[in-house]
Amino acid sequence: MSSPLRFAYEMTISHADFLRTLPAVLQGMSYAVNGREIWVEDEGRRLCITLSEQSQRHFGPIPLPVTHVELKFDGYSKEEVAQFKSRFDTCYRRSGG
């Protein structure tokens, strides 16, 4: 059995905004939130999403929320992970302007 695949992100997002967007990423998969951990059960596979403590960074006078996010995939193929990460990146992409 292969070891879980892990990916880490530093995101300019609050925990509330992360959780508000999450259902679009999961597309109907059931999940449970336990503190800063989110567990997704997906047809015998498991995904654990861990959120760091929320901190702040200042962009001039503007405070921005910062959350470090770790995705840990267990039982997923590399292709399934790539598909999920593509959807994750699309759903959480932000543009300035």
The pLDDT of residue 2 is 63
**48-65: pLDDT as tens digits:** 999 999 999 998 999 999
Q: Contact at 8 Å (CB) between 13 and 92?
A: yes
**66-96: pLDDT as tens digits:** 999 999 999 999 999 999 999 999 999 876 5
The reply to whether 65 falls in a domain is: yes
pTM for the predicted model, two decimal places: 0.89
The reply to whether 79 falls in a domain is: yes
DSSP 97: -
The reply to whether 97 falls in a domain is: no
Structural domain including 46 reads: 5-92
The reply to whether 47 falls in a domain is: yes
Give the start-end residues of each E strand in the chain.
5-11, 31-34, 37-42, 45-51, 55-59, 62-74
**12-26: pLDDT as tens digits:** 999 999 999 999 999
C-alpha gyration radius of the chain: 14
How many domains, the chain? 1
Tell me the CATH number at 13.
3.30.310.80
